[in-house]
Amino acid sequence: MSGLKRVVLLMLFMCFCSQGYLHGQTYRLPDGKNVAKIKFELLNNLIIVPLEVNGVALSFVLDSGVNKPILFNLADQDSIQLNNVSEVIINGLGDGEAINALRSHGNKFSLGAIKNLSQELYVVINAAINFSPSLGIPVHGIIGFDLFRDFVVEINYSKQFLKLHDPKTYQCKKRAKRESFDISLVRNKAYLNAKVGLENDKMVAVKMLLDTGSSDAIWLFENDSIVLPRNHYDDFLGKGLSGDVYGKRTRISHIQIGDFILNNAQASFPNMSVFGAISDLGDRNGTLGGALLKRFNIVFDYQNKKISLKKNSNFKLPFYYNTSGINLQHAGVRYVSERILNSTEKTTYGNVQIMLAGATRLSLVPEIIVSGIRAGSPAYSSGLKEGDVILAVNGKRIHRYKLQEILQMLNKDKDKRVKILVSRSNRDLLFSFILKDLFN
């Protein structure tokens, strides 16, 4: 494979290095339309949009930190046509080795009524790279810059819809409490200037990548001015194309963007060794991700190098911390036996009909397992183990809830007791622990 072209990609917390884009690859609105509205799902702070690739219905993450679309999970699809395919090698964020991938030209993409008849696409052939288990729904890939290039992209995080405006006809509406900012575009990615408050009220000016494909709030890169706060803990930050990403999680006093100030903000300091294959960090100081961006309704205007922010109903929500230390994911399905109250069923033996009160119903439900536990966390100390199947949290049977709702049950306020019923080696076990403040 030494003769293959080598490219650099990142996934989730990513940037995709490219020397530009083909001008013929553009998205278009239907004739006579100036805007298209698309509903999305917001899961773990990520925007999930419905997208058709060569006629196949898929789900993609809208990721402003990636250049070309990347397809990485087709486990639930029988087949999909890919046009004009060649092999490449990919290096990316993480501590693993380079992986093989495919590069494809001339693909038809449809996002609602919006079409692109000649989209370039990268396909990662690695079953380990899969967002679906941790998000709870099938997710097949990511898409970014091409949409931000061709439209003024309005993201309404609070009502969960996009509006893609024709840049030629779009007029920014002047609204109270909306601020507009200049952004810089470097290698097809948007950067915004901000200020962060560190220990001892030290204010530091930072240049931050705007990355809707990162589920975290803030990533910061250590240097002489940006110093890791004393109160922090080691944690798993996510997955890149080349493996797992680890770093430190902490809390900063605040982040300021124009007149907007967010206090006690969640921040992560990734281990910089994971950027070994990435050569375009430049003067970037970190990343603003979905856990922060979702607090605003945002308009991205790449053509005029502008972004506008208006705080929404998420603005005052506390920042999320994994106080329990538990990571969860889907791991297939299992059967659940439920008693149906006030129910009567009939069964017949020969000529005799018998009424059965309180019948039992078998249901097929997702199986949620512990995919990781932070060393030293309350869950770790209680005896929970990776691979345990979660059955109930605080007496609530979890098959009735979405994955993100279960995570919220496990990470309530400090000093709260959490009781978890799990299945381990065909035995039901109950564990209990008290959540603690991570920074005291």
Residue-range domain boundaries for the chain: 5-165, 178-311, 326-434
**pLDDT more than 70, % of the chain:** 79
DSSP assignment string, 240-288: ETTEEEEEEEEEEEEEEETTEEEEEEEEEEE-GGGGTT----TT--EEE
What phi, psi does 272 have (nearest 5°)? -70, -15
Stronger pLDDT, 393 or 413, i.e. the higher one: 393
Give the per-residue pLDDT at 279.
Answer: 53
CB under 8 Å to 168, separation ≥6 — which residues? Answer: none
**Residue 345 in tokens:** 């069923």
Whether pLDDT at 336 is above 80 = no
pLDDT in tens, 184-210: 999 899 999 999 999 877 899 999 999
Judged against a pLDDT cut of 50, whether residue 4 lies above it is answered with: no
C-alpha span between 206 and 193 (Å, rounded): 6
Q: Please give the pLDDT value at position 437.
A: 85
Helix boundaries (H) for 120-218? 132-135, 145-150
Give me the pLDDT at residue 160, please.
97
Q: Report the pLDDT value the prediction gives residue 422, as an integer from 0 to 100.
A: 95
| Cβ–Cβ < 8 Å for 61, 213 | yes
pLDDT for the residue numbered 313: 96
Euclidean distance between CA atoms 262 and 142, whole angstroms? 28
Confidence at residue 338, expressed as pLDDT on a 0 to 100 scale: 63
Average pLDDT over residues 22-30: 72
Cβ count within 10 A of residue 104: 20
Question: Please, which residues have CB within 8 angstroms of residue 75's CB and are 6 or more apart in sequence?
Answer: 127, 130, 132
381-to-237, 269, 279, 433 alpha-carbon distances in Å: 21, 25, 40, 8
Single-letter amino acid, residue 12 = L
pLDDT score at 14: 37
Confidence bin at 178 (pLDDT 50/70/90)? confident
User: What pLDDT digit, counting tens, does each position of 42-78 carry?
Assistant: 999 999 999 999 999 999 999 998 888 988 866 655 5
The pLDDT value recorded for residue 9 is 35
pLDDT of residue 79: 72
Using the predicted structure, report yes or no on whether residue 18 has a pLDDT greater than 50.
no
Domain at 326-434: CATH code: 2.30.42.10
How confident is the model over 269-327, as pLDDT tens digits? 999 877 765 556 778 999 999 999 999 999 999 999 999 999 999 999 999 889 999 99
Residue type, 218: I
Domain 5-165 classified CATH 1.10.620.20?
no
Better pLDDT: 101 or 25: 101
Nearest-angstrom CA–CA distance, 302 and 229: 34
Do the domains 178-311 and 326-434 sit in the same CATH topology, yes or no? no
pLDDT value of residue 76: 56
- Looking at residue 24, what is its pLDDT? 47
Of 152 and 96, the one with more pLDDT:
152
Q: Does 360 have pLDDT greater than 80? A: no
Q: In this predicted model, which residue has the larger pLDDT, 239 or 183?
A: 183
Measure the CA–CA gap between 8 and 90, rounded to whole angstroms.
Answer: 6
Mean pLDDT of 361-378: 85
Per-residue confidence (pLDDT) for residue 16, from 0 to 100: 34
Q: Flag whether pLDDT at 257 surpasses 60.
A: yes
- Give the number of other Cβ atoms within 10 Å of residue 127's Cβ: 10
In CATH, 178-311 is 2.40.70.10: yes
Name every residue whose Cβ is closer than 8 Å to that of residue 375 and which is 6 or more positions away in sequence.
234
